Amino acid sequence: MMKQKLILIAVGVLLLVSGFGIGYIVRGDGVPSEDSAEVGFARDMSVHHLQAVEMATLLYDRTENEALRFLAYDILTTQTGQIGTMSGWLDLWGYAKNSSTPRMAWMGMPMEGMMPGMATPEQLADLEAAEGEAADVLFMQLMIPHHESGVRMAQAAMLNAEQSAVQILALKMAQAQESEIDYMESWLRERGYDTALEDG
């Protein structure tokens, strides 16, 4: 298990660095304003992705299902690379990774606290404590709404961003996460599980 964790950390660092480099290579169409969809998307989606990476890493260590281990690996590696790309953009444009303005203001829906779809600290603790199929089910019940929120954010970037590099990455994110939502919902239904956590 320790060897697997070290491999995941090494892969994550490599993807973050390579994505960071891609962010510099893709210069786009000039420097967007700080209140633009480009900057807001890069900041907010990076935070959103970080939690998905955390949850996928937890599942990778706990699942006994090889298909789900592959899903977890795909999520954590893909989204780590995308974080690197978006961080590269922010550095290229000369903006900090965080802002004092509310999250999602660039979408016309400013908010404080956690963004929609994100798991609470208590839910993350439950996932960390779960094992086997219980971990599989909880992961998907948490990741489905997380992805749904990510898709809405990516769609907003596709509509509102002007830089083609941002539009293209947002489209890829939306397509990948919609496909993963379909897979996770089908997996749960086939085994008689709810696709969402019960309230409370």
pLDDT digit string (tens) for 128-137? 999 999 999 9
Model confidence at 110: pLDDT above 50: yes
More confidently predicted of 66 and 7: 66
Look over the chain and give the mean of its residue pLDDT values, rounded to a whole number.
89
- In the chain, % of residues over pLDDT 90: 80
- Chain-centre distance for alpha carbon 72: 12
b or e along 94-115 (b: 16 or more beta carbons within 10 Å of the residue's beta carbon)? ebeeebeeebbebbeeeeeeeb
Say what the pLDDT of residue 15 is. Answer: 52
84-105 confidence digits (pLDDT tens): 999 999 999 999 999 888 999 9
Domains of the chain: 2-190 (1.20.1260.10)
Does residue 8 surpass a pLDDT of 70? Answer: no
Average pLDDT over residues 39-58: 98
- Tell me: pLDDT of 43 over 50: yes
Give the Cα-Cα-Cα angle 14, 181, 52 (nearest 5 degrees). Answer: 35
Q: How much is the pTM?
A: 0.85
As beta bridge partners, residue 111 has 103
**What percentage of residues in the chain have a pLDDT greater than 70?**
84
30: how many CB neighbours lie within 10 A of its CB?
Answer: 8
pLDDT for residue 24 is more than 50: no
> 22 and 88 in contact (C-beta within 8 Å)?
yes
DSSP annotation of 118 reads P
- Given CA atoms 176, 182, 186, 189 in this order, what sign does their dihedral have? positive
